[in-house]
């Protein structure tokens, strides 16, 4: 028989679930364009007091979102010289793959730093 968690103490599985939701919440941007950039940060800020283990996940996602915006802007400028078009396509692929990998790792209890993310928050 499993022992229930102490009162007032968050369970590890709940923290892992919220970490996964923070990573996957970037996909809200498919339906509401700017929300994919804002929702992960809002979730992280709302739940980090309850689950201190969310901090590395929130920082990783925030760094990735900020990097993604910066890379997108640079690729957009470079698309006038045509080199930016394949870079935008590659950026679109990693914008889908990285959150999926991060969410899966978060569900397994691992904090994953996004490759190519600029460490704005440490």
Answer whether residue 7 is part of any domain.
no
Structural domain harbouring 44: 12-107
Which of 40, 45, 75 is CA-nearest to residue 61? 40
Q: Looking at residues 53-60, what average pLDDT do you find?
A: 95
Q: Both tokens of residue 97?
A: 């793959």
**119 belongs to a structural domain:** no
pTM here is 0.86
* Residues 114 and 94: beta-carbon distance below 8 Å: no
Structural domain contains residue 45 = yes
pLDDT per position as a tens digit, 87-118: 999 999 999 999 999 999 999 999 999 999 99
Question: Does residue 116 lie in a domain region?
Answer: no
Q: Mean pLDDT throughout 65-86?
A: 94
Is residue 21 in some structural domain? yes
Number of domains comprising the chain: 1
- Residue 25 in any domain: the answer is yes
pLDDT at 2 over 60: no
Residue 8 — very low, low, confident or very high, per pLDDT cuts 50/70/90? low
């Amino acid at each position: 028989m499993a022992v229930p968690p102490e009162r007032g103490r968050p369970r590890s599985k709940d923290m892992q679930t919220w970490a996964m939701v923070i990573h996957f919440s970037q996909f809200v941007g498919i339906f509401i364009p700017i929300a994919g950039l804002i929702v992960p940060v809002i979730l992280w800020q709302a739940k980090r007091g309850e689950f201190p283990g969310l901090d590395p996940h929130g920082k990783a996602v925030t760094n990735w979102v900020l990097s993604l915006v910066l890379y997108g802007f640079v690729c957009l400028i470079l698309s006038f010289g045509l080199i930016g078009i394949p870079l935008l396509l590659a950026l679109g692929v990693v914008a889908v793959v990285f959150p999926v990998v991060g969410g899966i790792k978060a569900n397994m209890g691992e904090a994953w730093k996004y490759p190519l993310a600029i460490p704005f928050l440490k």
